[in-house]
Structure 1
Amino acid sequence: MKVIMIGPIETAGGVSIHTKELTRALKQLSIDVEMYNISSEKEYPTLVSNFIKLYRRTLGLSLKLIKNRKKSNIVHIQASGPVGGFLPAIFGAILKKLLGFHMIVTFHYSNTPLFVKKYKKLVSFVLRNSDMFIVVSNTQKMSIINAIKKYNDRIVVIPNGYNPLRLHKLPKSKARKELGLSPKDKIIVNVALLLEKKGHKYLIDAMSLIVNKYNQKNVRCFIIGKGPLKEELQKQIHELGLQDHVKLLGFVLDKELAYWMNAADLFVLPSLREGNPMVMFEALGVGLPFVGTAVGGIPEIITSEEYGLLCEPGNPKDLTEKILRALNKEWDREKIRKYAEQFTWEEIAKKTVEIYTHLLGG
């Protein structure tokens, strides 16, 4: 079995991580995978520029696909939104009509309903010319089915995964000692780009209620990640007098991130919209209980209060209640970690191989 995997592997973000990690795991299953980079929407801000530069960048790839069309059983494209991130799937669908290879598209996007509504004809074209169309949550799948109303049997759900070796498990006491954290404090960790859709302002508002209204002075929140809202969030922290309780740490390397995840009592993700966030799986993978909003694929993973609690998006009062409940709850962290094992990239790769095998008549 020969697979060509196409995705934005040289950029930052979840799609890049997904592409590289899935490719690595497929190779461990002895699948012959060749990975090709395609630029993301971020590099080309206009639609015309997208098409021109995508054509130039993929001309060599097109020639390779033509040359290898008999050797390659499957072309697997990692696509996203908005439209620039979806162009590789459109381009692949055109080539498939010309060359006749098997094509799978995995679609990653946190606002699938809006995307499908706006680009319905493009999504229909790609669906019609794909052998299989993978999405990362059932919520995403139903958004497409409700809008397109055709090709339902081609849409399958395979969630994101995580690499347990990236954030290995450590004793909480050791992690806190390394980071200089008090063993008496209740530690909340959030890892996300500082973007509006990630809902950080609601987490900061919730921290204000926790510290000031409920007088929980030993609760501290550490926000890891960089992004354009840094100054705005820092101003909010200052205005609420939370400098000692909420810290923006910026980007941290994996080694340090492992310490933060293992030092924490709770992981909180207050997003306004999500696909199926990989950081959720990483938190669960170290046995860290999860509090998050009931958006995207999150409720499909946090299916029991043994793993975490769900709250309404954009509702700091509800978020506060769930955080306080979680901080006062006795969690079986080993049970959480065991639950997460079904979402390792190795398990996700096995599900992907099942689709490959099905397409090839195995």
Structure 2
Amino acid sequence: MGIFVQRHAESAALHNNVALLHAQSESNITEPKIYFSKEKTFIELIIKYPKVKGKLPLITKLLKIKRYKHFYNFGLNVLKKEGFSPDLIHCNVMNPVGLVASLWKKKLNIPYIITEHWTGFLSSDGRYKKNPLLKLSLPKIANGAEKVLPVSLDLKKALTKHKLGKNYKIVRNVVNTNKFFPQQKDKNKFLVVADLDNAQKNITGIVNAFKAFSDTYPSMELAIAGGGKDEDLIKSHINQLQISQKIKLYGRLNAEALNNLLAESYASVLFSNYENLPCVIVEAFSAGIPFISTKVGGTAEIIDSKKGILIPPKDEDALVKAMHKAVKTNWDKNAIRDYAIQTFGIDKIGEELNCIYNQILGS
């Protein structure tokens, strides 16, 4: 379960009685495990169950769906025994949990809405168009929702093009702006926070650009925070360019460590070939740090000349120029942070969700 789901639950719980239910399969367990908590501002029920294994793909797939539905139904019954009966289901992404919500609507007459942030719907990604099963199943799920809440205008356009949903409202992802804040530190680096998936994030392109940039600023460093399947490829590329003394890979970091790196950075950087609306941009804004990003997905919706620099994808020369500009620009860190709080803060998103819930439930 992603942190975005928990943040949305926390936001919704500011004005509503909320339970977060999540079921997932695990390959290393033989019996279901249940985690139930009322310690947060919302009820949290997480169910982990044994993964279906089989040699016949079609039968295995059907058994996976059956078990998935079973444990969500089981979770709903647990919540009801604890005194929680939902008036509205708020799904995080259509696939796969939207299937459960659509069945509950049909069987129990509970309406549902969907928050959507999957990049697979974007033409630059294309995974939805290439998947006949999703093209068959998701329209019914999306069109059965009372509202679909894409996290960006760009994603809304993609969903509209695919005829997924009828009633849209853009609701941004939530960022804990209390964990990211401006600090006074000497700046000597650029920061990349990303999954190390080079096909999407083009980390090697950032390394190339930074090498050219560092010819002018030899004391500057590049910090890369994140993990992923292409870590070895990226390390090899750094070594081939003989620039390992200026680039450090930190792995995955917690908010405090990221905040400290942001404070030491002139800007945070993404050089992605495609994106939706990455939360790392807003985390940088919360710390008062500008952002350099390719103009892909929803990035242009939140980055302007007062908060960062937009460049074309795959244009390494443009990235080098953007790095130079970021170092020379006197950014207003307080204005950058204020924008993050007013647009992505828990209070703001909580108010938006509460308004949507009331519209649907008529109260």
Check if 1:202 corresponds to 2:205.
Answer: yes
Q: Is the 8 A contact 2:177 2:340 kept in 1?
A: no
Partner of 1:190, secondary structure, is strand
The equivalent residue for 1:176 is none
Answering whether residue 22 of structure 2 is matched by residue 21 of structure 1, we say: no
Structure 1 vs Structure 2 CA RMSD: 2.5
* Equivalence for 1:336: 336
- Report the CA distance between 1:73 and its aligned residue: 1.4
Match of 2:65 among 42, 48, 51: 51
Q: How far apart, CA to CA, are the structure 2 residues paired with 1:142 and 1:37?
A: 29
The aligned residue for residue 46 of structure 2 is none
| SS at 1:172 equivalent | coil
AA at the equivalent of 1:283 = A
Paired residue for 1:172?
185
> Using the alignment, how far apart are the partners of 1:283 and 1:51 within structure 2?
39
Give distance in 1, aligned partners of 2:176 and 2:10: 10
Residue 252 of structure 1: aligned partner: 253
Distance 2:255 2:143 in 1: 40
Deviation digits for residues 235-259 of structure 1, max 9, x if unmatched?
1111111112211111223222221
CA shift, 1:18, in A, is: 1.2
Give the SS at the match of 1:223: strand
Rounded to whole Å, the distance in 1 between the matches of 2:71 and 2:268 is 40
Shift of the 30–161 alpha-carbon distance from structure 1 to 2, 3 Å rule, reads closer
CA deviation digits over 1:279-324, x for unaligned, max 9?
A: 110100111010011111111111x201001111222222222222
**Alignment match, 2:307:** 307
2:118 aligned to 109, 134, 142, which one? Answer: 109
Alignment of 1:72-111 (within 5 A): 72-79=86-93, 86-111=95-120
CA distance in 2, matches of 1:40, 1:77: 18
Alignment CA distance shift 1:314-1:35 (3 Å): same
Larger helix proportion, structure 1 or 2?
A: 1
SS in structure 1 at match of 2:96: helix
Verify the 8 A CA contact 2:181 2:288 in the aligned structure 1: no
- After superposition, the C-alpha distances for 1:200-227 in whole angstroms (9 at most, x for unaligned) are 1111111122124xx3212211001111
Partner Cα distance (2:327, 2:158) in 1: 34
Structure 1-normalised TM-score?
0.83
User: Hey, what's the Cα distance between the residues in 2 that align with 1:295 and 1:278?
Assistant: 14
- Please name the residue that 1:225 is paired with: 226
| Matched-pair contact (CA < 8 Å) for 1:198–1:269 | yes
CA distance in 1: counterparts of 2:309 and 2:225, whole angstroms: 21
**Correspondence 1:156-167 to 2 at 5 A:** 156-167=169-180
Once the two structures are TM-superposed, the CA of residue 358 in structure 1 deviates from its matched residue by 0.6
- Please state how far the C-alpha of 1:151 moved relative to its aligned partner: 4.4
* Secondary structure of the corresponding residue to residue 292 of structure 1: strand
Give the Cα separation in 1 of the matches to 2:249 and 2:52. 30
- Structure 1 unaligned blocks of 5 or more: 1-7, 9-15, 81-85, 174-182
The change in CA–CA distance for 1:289 and 1:361 in structure 2 (over 3 A counts) is same
Structure 2 Cα separation of the partners of residues 116 and 125 of structure 1: 15
Match of residue 137 from structure 2: 122
Residue pair 2:114, 2:149 contacting (<8 A) in 1 also: yes
Taking the TM superposition and a 5 Å limit, the aligned residue runs for 1:271-282 are: 271-282=272-283
Assess, with a 3 A threshold, how the Cα gap between structure 1 residues 263 and 228 changes in structure 2: closer, same or farther.
same
Judging changes above 3 Å, is the alpha-carbon distance between structure 1 residues 156 and 229 closer, same or farther for their aligned structure 2 residues?
A: same
TM-score by length of 2: 0.83
- Contact preservation (8 Å) 2:220, 2:246: yes
Whole-angstrom distance in 1 between the partners of 2:248 and 2:84: 55
Q: How has the CA–CA distance of structure 1 residues 99 and 22 changed in structure 2, closer, same or farther, with 3 Å as cutoff?
A: same
Report if the CA contact (8 A) 1:193-1:226 is conserved: yes
Deviation, 1:199, is 1.8
Number of matched pairs: 326
Asked whether 1:353 is paired with 2:362, we answer no
1:155 matched residue in structure 2: 168
Amino acid paired to 1:75: I
Secondary structure of the 1:274 match is: coil
